[in-house]
Structure 1
């Protein structure tokens, strides 16, 4: 299993009006990348429970969305085939919809953001404590959080 390339612990706010509503991340990929993923984990120290797993398989332009519960990957995953990722960099924005337990993903572009996908999570989005980036990532260039 590849090592975590980036880890950020999210701030915890008891007040619902102060929760993270958007997370943006961009970075560069290693030469000839095969895949990378962004995991929204329920513990910064353990990957047994992943509220949302977003993986890009670059050669096939496939997005895989999934979750992990008690160390087991769900058999209920989504795959989408899009021709939107290049082989040198990525720029993604994740929108947190707490009321509906939905994650919405956008790709950053010069002229704005393009909608990629949405995924209904099994766990409450409030359970997310950290974000991990795995795979063929050379460097995370930007990481930003937005609030209500």
Structure 2
């Protein structure tokens, strides 16, 4: 498995009005990239529980969504084919829908955002402690958090 290319610990706030509600991330990819993923993990030092796994397989333009519980990937993997990713960079926005335990994903564009997918999570979104980027990523160029 490839190494973690980027890791960010999310701030923990007791108040629901101060929680992260959007996370934007953009970056450049290695030459001839095969895949990259963004994991929303429930521990800063262990990947046994992943609330939301978003993976892009670039040659087939496939998005894989899943979760991991106690070290085991779910059999409820969701695969979607979309012809929207290029081989040089990515720009994604993840929206946390806490009441419905849903993650909404958008692709950043020059003139706004395009909806990609939504995924209902097994774990509560409040369980997420960190964000990891894996795979054929050369550099994360921008990372931003938004609050309620």
Q: TM-score scaled to structure 2, two decimals? A: 1.00
Aligned length: 148
Q: Deviations over 1:15-48 (max 9, x none)?
A: 0000000000000000000000000000010000
1:42 aligned partner: 42
Taking the TM superposition and a 5 Å limit, the aligned residue runs for 1:1-148 are 1-148=1-148
In 2: Cα distance, 1:77 partner to 1:114 partner? 22
Alpha-carbon RMSD across the aligned residues, in angstroms, is 0.2
Work out the CA distance in 2 between the residues paired with 1:84 and 1:44: 31
Residues 114-137 of structure 1 show CA distances to partners (whole Å, capped at 9, x for unaligned) of: 000000000000000000000000
In the alignment, structure 1 segments of 5+ residues that lack a partner are: none
Helix, strand or coil: the match of 1:87?
coil
Structure 1 runs of 4+ aligned residues shifted over 2 Å read none
Structure 2, unpaired ranges of 5+: none
* TM-score for both structures, normalised by structure 1: 1.00
Please state how far the C-alpha of 1:5 moved relative to its aligned partner.
0.1
Question: 1:83, 1:145 → 2: CA distance?
Answer: 27
Deviation of residue 106 (structure 1)? 0.1
How far has the Cα of 1:101 moved from its partner?
A: 0.2
Deviations 1:87-124 (A, max 9, x none): 00000000000000000000000000000000000000
Report deviation, 1:81.
0.2
